[in-house]
Amino acid sequence: MPLVVPKLRAYFDGILGNFSVERSAFACIQTSDLSSTNRGLVVMRALPQNFQRWLKLTFARDPAQDQRTRRSQGVVHGTITAVVGRGLGVLVSLVTVPLTIGYLGGERYGIWVTISTFLAFLSFTDFGVANSLTNALGRAYGEGQREVAARYVSSAFCVFCLIAALLAGAGILLAPHLPALFFPNLQSGSTRAEVAPALLIALVIFALNFPLLITNKVLAAHHENALANLWAIAGTFANLLAILAVIMCHGGLPWLVLGASGMGLLTNLACAVWVFAFRKPWLRPTFAQLDLAAIKDLFSVGWRFLVIGAAWMVNSETDNLVIARCLGAALVTPYAVTFGVFANATLLQTLAYPSLWPAYTEAFAQKDFDWIRRTFRTHLKLSFLIAFIVVAFLIIFGRPIIRLWAGETAVPPFATMIWMGIWSLMLSNLYVASCLLNATGHLKGMTIYGTITAVLNLALSIIFAKRYGISGVIAGTVIAFALANYIPTFLETRIVLRKFKPERRIEK
């Protein structure tokens, strides 16, 4: 025990800086005759050094000249705008969900949600090229190779256009037949008549959005994810206006899909025009810069991202299916609600991920290993600390909160809360490690133990569900990840970090 306390103290000091700084400084400020400007300077100097650094990164207005500072600013600004965007999205949902449920009714609203879920699964049809493009642009930007970046952008754009054409064609052919497959038990004839047009509109708009994926990748590679998030916020408000307009005009389900998805498409198109016409004109996609070697490279890496994503989808989306099959659909509710509540413990990590990934990739290309190690350690500590605080709060107060928010039928057993807490803590660390491995191209290991985890997770969840109920399902997930994913991931991360030999970083 005597050794534990100093270690814990050192751990938290490493995260938050030395908070025992100059308490007397603040007392002197209150009793001295310093001007307000000088008081501000004294306050800044009295703050912990790490906290001062994050304040400067957060509120800096002028573009940073130093590459390290520019990366860090991009991560901080991208994460902050993502948090703001998510918060506004939640507020918009609080308005639109009850409005659309009341307007469409339970059956048609369920159709809308099912269509959205189906489109989420179709995101795999990019074959991992979008993530592969992130790494390619990060390397090119880090090495100052504009021409290489332009070839990758044009090549990826052509690939996405081809995929979009295939998706749109498949949607036109299959949309009339999908309602019978997805919704065989529809009672209302008028609702049945709306499903096929709504599916067709959703599939075509989804396809048209595919080529626009490159816009966010370009901004992220230049550490301007904050701009992408601001455009996404604009899209959120455009969707709100479209939904309100359709409801006021008494449009049906197809019009609602067209209004909400169509406004999102127009926002993405406006963002693409702004980026390639004004912000980054040298990256504008052209047929002349199509490079077959670049396409081959994108697919050679992309298939691994595809496998990793598919394995993760199995790991994250099969629990509800196992519960419905083994325990009954009624028990899906407490599990799904609890899972969603505990997702808040890792919300910040998921929002920081898109900004950290290209920053790691650029630093890796420039051999700025010191920045990578320092950022990884800080991210790991902060991630675990934030998750630990949220998890502790939810384990203590989560069940009363769920009872008040969703009703008695959504309250899970206490054992489920404990296992969910353990899962969230593991996930907070896995996000940090996987971000580094993805960004630096260390994908082979994740494809292997990600697949093994998916199989083991499904098997254990089924076995434990029959014996321990919904607590057994999440327990199976935790055990599978601990054995087949968590330990291998951090062993590989440790090996990767040790390979990063200290070198003088490149200054441009």
Q: pLDDT tens digits for 98-139?
A: 787 777 776 777 777 777 777 877 777 788 888 888 889 888
Longest dimension (CA), the chain: 79
pLDDT at 61: 54
**For residues 385-394, b (16+ Cβ closer than 10 Å) or e, as one string?**
ebbeebbeeb
Number of Cβ atoms within 10 Å of the Cβ of 72: 23
Residue 192 · residue 179 · CB < 8 Å: yes
pLDDT at 343: 87
Residue 199 · residue 175 · CB < 8 Å: yes
Cα–Cα distance measured from residue 269 to residue 276, given in angstroms and rounded to the nearest whole number? 11
pLDDT at 177: 82
pLDDT at 501: 66
Q: Structure tokens of 84?
A: 């703001």
Residue 451 · residue 312 · CB < 8 Å: no
**Which residue in 338, 77, 89, 84 sits closest to 219, CA to CA?**
77
Cα–Cα distance measured from residue 508 to residue 505, given in angstroms and rounded to the nearest whole number? 10
Residue 467 · residue 408 · CB < 8 Å: no
Say which residues have a Cβ less than 8 Å from residue 196's Cβ, sequence separation at least 6. Answer: 175, 176, 178, 179
Residue 111 · residue 178 · CB < 8 Å: no
pLDDT at 66: 73
pLDDT digits (tens, 9 = 90+) for 373-426: 999 998 899 999 999 999 999 999 989 988 887 778 888 999 999 999 999 999
Q: Structure tokens of 270?
A: 């406006």
Tell me how many degrees the CA angle 420-422-424 measures, rounded to the nearest 5. Answer: 70
Q: Could you give the C-alpha distances from 406 to 333, 411, 435, in angstroms and in order? A: 9, 8, 34
Supply the Cα-derived Rg of the chain in whole angstroms: 25
pLDDT at 336: 82
pLDDT at 129: 87
Cα–Cα distance measured from residue 243 to residue 471, given in angstroms and rounded to the nearest whole number? 39
Sites in the chain below the pLDDT cut of 50: 1-47, 51-52, 54-55, 59, 504-508
Say which residues have a Cβ less than 8 Å from residue 278's Cβ, sequence separation at least 6. Answer: none
